[in-house]
Amino acid sequence: MDLELEIMDIITNAGESKSEAMIALQHAKRQQWEECDAALIRSKEAASRAHLVQTKLIGMDEGEGKIPVTLVMVHAQDHLMTSMLANELVKEMIEVYRHKVY
């Protein structure tokens, strides 16, 4: 296994997930609900790919420090965490647009 490639998978998929969530929000602002929902699906799929890699690495580490913690690993975890937060907030904002609660 090439650890750096695995870590880059987390970064790229987390970034794609966040980007698709932001695209969904832009569609929601224009009330383009089909496009919005499609972007949310793509966002969720990318997030799932990133999470699967993270879970794989956690399993390989077995809580024993077998996987070295490098700056790029920390960077990947940061990307994943902020992507997850962005997705949750974007979904809430989309619901506001969808139901015109504002």
Instruction: Kindly indicate the confidence band of residue 44, based on its pLDDT and cuts at 50, 70 and 90.
Output: very high
Q: 3-39: buried (b, 16+ CB within 10 Å) or exposed (e) per residue?
A: eeebbebbbbbbbbbbbbbebbbebbeeeeeeebeeb
Q: How many helices (H) and strands (E) does the chain have?
A: 3, 0
Residues with active-site annotation: 75
Query: Per-residue pLDDT tens for 89-100?
Result: 999 999 999 997
Query: Per-residue pLDDT tens for 17-31?
Result: 999 999 999 999 999
Query: Per-residue pLDDT tens for 48-73?
Result: 999 999 999 999 988 888 888 899 99
- Among 21, 6, 13, smallest CA distance to 90 is for 21
